[in-house]
Structure 1
Amino acid sequence: MAGGHFTGFTYIRPAAESIGGIEASGLALLLLVYGLAAFAGNLAAGPVADRRMRLAVLLFPLTLGAAMLVFAVAGATTVGVLAAVALWGFGFGGAPTTLMTWMARTEPTRLESVGGLQAATFQVAIAAGAVVGGVLVDGVGVGAALVGGGVAVLVGAVLLSTLRNRRG
């Protein structure tokens, strides 16, 4: 899931410029919208994860993946780009909180280990996602990085939601 996010997010500037026609002067607004939405997603994730973990595990990554796809196919206007980026930020903002809550519930006696695992996984995902995104941008175009990343996030969300606690 995180790798899919970074496949597209690494190239959000060229995507905003080429797909949405946003000039360099508009990038600050784009990132502000993303950041505020990510903050809101982070705040929303805790209560949702506390009440309905399976919903949270699906909601935030599905929002993230869908937003990347919407950006790629419907982001031809500034309003479309800003709306897609707001959803993207909200989804990604809630994902780490949800994942950490899920991991802590799964392994409550190993909090340091699961925290380290999440940090290491995200670092690998950043690198792998950026590389895959770069290959897609160079080979096909910036829209391909958004579509490829969005599909990866959606597949990851479905796979993550099927995991069960196997403690006996």
Structure 2
Amino acid sequence: MTATDPSPPAPAPTGRSPVRGWLAVLAVTLGIFALMTSELLPVGLLTPVGSDLDVSEGTAGLMVTVPGLVAAVSAPLVTVATGRVDRRLVLAVLVGLVGAANLASAFATGFAPVLVARFLIGVSVGGFWSLAGGIALRLVPERHVGRATAVIFGGVETASVLGVPAGTLLGDLGGWRAAFAAVGALGLVALVCLVLLMPRVPPERTLAFADLPRILRSHAALRVGLALTFLVVTGHFTAYTFVRPVLLDDGIAPRMTGVLLLVFGVAGVCGNFLAGALVAGRPRPAVLGIAAVLTTATTLLAATDTGPVTAGAVLALWGLGYGAVPVTFQTWILAAAPDAVEAASSLYVSVFNLSIALGALLGGLAVDHVATAGALWAGGALALLAVPLLRAGRGTRVRV
């Protein structure tokens, strides 16, 4: 059976304990939270890492670029390569790898070993996220699948909006190495939880590389959704990767940046729940609103001299918009290709992580060769390009 087969995999056996299934779901959620926090952790720590390892902030941005690029490739590659392997084993190996890589980063004496560790994190993120997206159907009774899937993807969203601020605060208090060590320990805890709480999950369908271009050709709404994901997520990370240097340039104390990023995170959680309630049946207005909010927030931060209060207000607006991104675009992608969910999810993970990488790269070029605020202007412009793309794609239909 291939990923293009419209028949879904068999639901979890009715005799399986819902409690045991939900414990497994929570273990997967912890794993994906640890992985996505690992990928994005350097966002709040670029300045101290660059200073300690004697590289520029733009070069330090490679800690976000490298795992993003690798995850973009590993998402379909790991899915295909492990097509006949127990999913519990694959997920456990990947989350264990990310735990070890973060611990290695915490003890690294130079920037090159950190980049090697970041490469391994990229492999883990791409493979784990792709496989975790459809695992709920195998763990809980059919009536719980929707909620379980939302919980698992909540790990992605929570890492984006809370993991980075929490890691930044820990880095401010104990140093950047302590932050990396803590996330590494979290990955190992997730490994133990997966081994103890998750049942064996034999693979039921395989994905071939040939399926991917065929699905893209046959689903116009999927192509539009992936393009919108690319513009909005690239724009966000072009700006957000360098938000700490921007705040420091505005005269905000280093210890306040963690607090301000936490404001961003809390607003992001609110944006996630708001989007979850509003996106059903209205994906286009949701994407339009996200693009408008991200463009407005980055422009305001670039164009004004901000103190802590003003910066907090702008970051709250920004967090509200970005918090809606994962649930909105994931909903679009799954609705655009309901007959090829696994393949569509794999493509979405690739584009999302490629966008993280390119955003960090573009932002680094702007910071090193133009000005720190240049990353904000470039990010806002990219997010704004989603508006004409939405207008051009009006002919495609997405039902959610």
Structure 1 distance, partners of 2:277, 2:286, is 9
Aligned match of 1:17 in 245, 248, 265? 248
State the Cα RMSD in Å. 1.7
Shift in Å, 1:61? 2.4
Shift in Å, 1:31? 1.2
Shift in Å, 1:160? 3.9
Evaluate the alpha carbon distance shift between residue 23 and residue 39 of structure 1 in structure 2; reply closer, same or farther with a 3 A threshold: same
Structure 2 distance, partners of 1:25, 1:129, is 25
Instruction: Describe the superposition over 1:101-132 as per-residue Cα deviations: whole angstroms up to 9, x where unpaired.
Output: 11122111122222211211111111111111
Structure 2 distance, partners of 1:77, 1:34, is 15
For the pair 1:50 / 2:50, whether they are aligned, the reply is no
Evaluate the alpha carbon distance shift between residue 114 and residue 97 of structure 1 in structure 2; reply closer, same or farther with a 3 A threshold: same
- Give 3-state SS (helix, strand or coil) of 2:306's partner: coil
- Give 3-state SS (helix, strand or coil) of 1:165's partner: coil
One-letter identity of the residue aligned with 1:41: G
Higher relative CO (Cα under 8 Å, sequence separation at least 6) belongs to: 1
Evaluate the alpha carbon distance shift between residue 136 and residue 22 of structure 1 in structure 2; reply closer, same or farther with a 3 A threshold: same
One-letter identity of the residue aligned with 2:277: P
Evaluate the alpha carbon distance shift between residue 133 and residue 27 of structure 1 in structure 2; reply closer, same or farther with a 3 A threshold: same
- Give 3-state SS (helix, strand or coil) of 1:67's partner: helix
Q: Which moved more, 1:61-70 or 1:145-154?
A: 61-70
One-letter identity of the residue aligned with 1:2: V
The residue number in structure 1 matching 2:270 is: 40
The residue number in structure 2 matching 1:121 is: 351
Higher helix share: 1
Q: Which moved more, 1:105-114 or 1:143-152?
A: 105-114
- Give 3-state SS (helix, strand or coil) of 2:289's partner: helix
Aligned match of 1:8 in 206, 216, 239? 239
For the pair 1:88 / 2:315, whether they are aligned, the reply is no
Q: Which runs of 5+ in 1 are unaligned?
A: none
The residue number in structure 2 matching 1:106 is: 336
Structure 2 distance, partners of 1:70, 1:31, is 16
The residue number in structure 2 matching 1:27 is: 257
- Give 3-state SS (helix, strand or coil) of 1:141's partner: coil
Shift in Å, 1:57? 1.4
One-letter identity of the residue aligned with 2:240: F
Q: Give the conservation status (yes or no) of the 8 Å contact 2:295–2:383.
A: yes
The residue number in structure 1 matching 2:307 is: 77
In the TM superposition, structure 1's runs of 4+ consecutive aligned residues that sit over 6 Å from their partners are none
Instruction: Describe the superposition over 1:124-146 as per-residue Cα deviations: whole angstroms up to 9, x where unpaired.
Output: 11111111111101111111100
Give percent identity, aligned residues only.
36
Provide the aligned length of Structure 1 versus Structure 2.
166
Larger radius of gyration: 2
- Give 3-state SS (helix, strand or coil) of 2:396's partner: coil
Structure 1 distance, partners of 2:328, 2:322, is 10
The residue number in structure 1 matching 2:370 is: 140
Instruction: Describe the superposition over 1:13-68 as per-residue Cα deviations: whole angstroms up to 9, x where unpaired.
Output: 0011113x211110121111011111111111122111422211111222112111
Structure 2 distance, partners of 1:157, 1:120, is 22
Evaluate the alpha carbon distance shift between residue 116 and residue 75 of structure 1 in structure 2; reply closer, same or farther with a 3 A threshold: farther
Q: Give the conservation status (yes or no) of the 8 Å contact 1:42–1:94.
A: yes
Structure 1 distance, partners of 2:253, 2:358, is 28
Query: Normalised by the size of structure 1, how large is the TM-score?
Result: 0.91
